[in-house]
Structure formats: structure tokens, C-alpha cells
Amino acid sequence: MSGAFSLEVASGIGTLRIMREAKRNALDTQMMDALADLCRQIERREDIGVLILTGSGRSFCAGGDISAWSGEGATRFARHWVRDGHEVFDRLARLRQPVIAALNGPVLGGGLELASCADYRIAEDHVRFGQPETGLGIIAGWSGTQRAVRRFGAQIVRRMALFGEVLTAQQAVQAGLADQVVPEGEALATARAVAQAALTRGPLATELTKMLINAAEGEERERVLESLAGRIAAASEELREGVSAFKEKRPPDFGGKED
């Protein structure tokens, strides 16, 4: 695992912490690669029912490390920094487990895009939200104009991205960017309580419901449809007969029966 992340698992709850305090937990290329690997691992771990995402120290995530992308040429910037970043954040947003973001520091730029991947966001009362990219002469490149619009609405994204509005934690709740505001230092504990409540619900029903909600808002619709159909097919007598026939080198006898 990258030293820039820590993953702790206890009682069905995984806590993924960004560990780069000196850079306010800003993400660079190596960290994005590590996050993609971690998402693959978390997806397959049966001992993680809910994932909490947070930052170390007093920072959640300062977004993309400017020193990591500012020297890139236009082609490499678009091909690797933006496109690869999309793939990583897509993987996080599409985890089968519910994801809770414990927002313990500013949620700006790429940090807001990262928080957007979560299913539930808990903000400490000192946290601020915004999209400052156009002030740097660049755009939000990790779905800040796409997933953020789908999940929060176009107008609030316009206000942040086009006009530079920065929201307080309370304003973020009112605008739908966050779900709950808590006093400073209490985001992680509150996230654990929310995670415990989620763990009391049916795990398969929760997984399927998250997939359906994602599909309804335009997140991974094609994969959701094929995954749900595949789950039905994999549980059918037809599959068992088809596999047996293949192994026994004979024609399958489906018999026109349903499972």
C-alpha cells in the first residue's frame, strides 16, 4: 500500500485515510495509482461492509497537487491526469459498499470531486466548499462538471465554478453538497455511527440498491444492468446445466424450464 494512504478495518467498517499532511493531502500521480489499487482491493474484501473516507490532520483533500500537473503538456495533461483521474474516481464512486466521507478540512477543487464520490458526506462546521479551478485558468477535470452536477444540481455547481462562490458547511448542507454538519473534530466518530447503522441493513439489498440509485442518476448504467442480469443468470439452473454439459462434452438440455 502507498504510504500516502492507510486502510484500517474493524467490525465491518473500513477507514481509508489520506496521509499527506505536509501537502494538505493533495493528490499526485502516484497517489492516484495507489487509490485505484486500493479501490480494487476494497471492492473484493468481504470484511468491509461500509467505507469511510477521510484525511489526516486538519485536511480532507486539497485536490490535485499543482506541482504534479502544472508542468504537463496539453496532451499528457488530458490523456493521463484528467482521464486517469476520472477512472480512479469512477472506481471509488462505484464501489459496492456505501462510502461515507468524513470531511475534516477544506473541500475544494479535486477535494470536492473526491467527496462527490461518496454516498454520504459529514462536514465539520469549519469546512468550506468550492471549485476554484477557473481562477487558475483550468477546469474541474475529475467530474466536477459531470458527477457533481448529477449529484448536487447544475446551479450550485455554476455558482462555485463560474462565479467562485465558497460555501460554509451549513450552506453546503442546504445546497445538498453535504448531509450533516458536526462540530470540529467529530466527523470521523459521526461517520462511524452512520456506518454502524448502515451495517444493520441487508448487505445484498444495500449493494443492489446502491447500484440502482447509481444507474438512476446516470452512473454506470450499462454495468449495473449487466451485473444485475448476470447475478440472475448465475443463480439459474440453466447455468448449472450449461456448465455440466460443457464439461461432459454433450449438448445441454435446457428443457425450456425456468429456474
Q: How far apart are CA 169 and CA 33, in angstroms?
A: 30
Confidence of residue 256 (pLDDT cuts 50, 70, 90): low
Q: Does residue 103 sit in helix, strand or coil?
A: strand
Question: 142 phi and psi, to 5 degrees?
Answer: -115, 45
pLDDT score recorded for residue 158: 96
pLDDT score recorded for residue 66: 66
Q: How far apart are CA 156 and CA 27, in angstroms?
A: 25
133 belongs to the catalytic site? yes
- Select which of 43, 46, 72, 113 is catalytic: 113
- Degrees, nearest 5: CA angle 128-31-108: 15
113 belongs to the catalytic site? yes
CB 233 within 8 A of CB 239: yes
Please write down the long-range contacts of 150-159, taking CB distance under 8 Å and 24 or more positions apart: 150/217, 150/218, 150/219, 151/116, 151/176, 151/217, 152/116, 152/176, 152/177, 157/131
Q: Does residue 51 sit in helix, strand or coil?
A: strand
| pLDDT digit string, tens, across residues 64-97 | 776 665 666 667 666 666 778 888 999 999 999 9
Q: What is the mean pLDDT of residues 220-242?
A: 75
| pLDDT digit string, tens, across residues 165-194 | 999 999 999 999 999 999 999 999 999 999
Percentage, residues of the chain above pLDDT 70: 91
pLDDT score recorded for residue 254: 81
CB 35 within 8 A of CB 5: yes
pLDDT exceeds cutoff 60 at 257: no
Q: What is the mean pLDDT of residues 24-36?
A: 90
pLDDT exceeds cutoff 70 at 101: yes
- Domains of the chain (ranges; CATH) run 5-199 (3.90.226.10), 203-248 (no CATH)
Question: 27 phi and psi, to 5 degrees?
Answer: -95, 135
pLDDT score recorded for residue 182: 98
Handedness of CA 168, 170, 176, 181 (dihedral sign): positive
Q: Does residue 141 sit in helix, strand or coil?
A: coil
pLDDT score recorded for residue 128: 97
pLDDT exceeds cutoff 90 at 240: no
Give the CB-side neighbour count of residue 39, counting CA atoms within 13 A.
Answer: 21
Average pLDDT, the chain: 89
How many CB atoms neighbour CB 171 within 10 A? 16
Q: What is the mean pLDDT of residues 37-63?
A: 95
pLDDT score recorded for residue 79: 63
In this structure, of 46-60, 186-200, 217-231, the range with the lowest mean pLDDT score is 217-231
Q: What is the mean pLDDT of residues 135-160?
A: 90
Confidence of residue 36 (pLDDT cuts 50, 70, 90): very high
| Bridge partners (DSSP) listed for residue 16 | 7, 53
- Select which of 133, 217, 220, 241 is catalytic: 133
Query: What is the Cα 73 distance to its own chain's centre?
Result: 28
- The beta strands (E) that lie in 151-241 are given as 167-168, 180-182
Q: How far apart are CA 1 and CA 136, in angstroms?
A: 32
CB 81 within 8 A of CB 131: no
pLDDT score recorded for residue 234: 73
pLDDT score recorded for residue 44: 96
Residues in the chain: 259
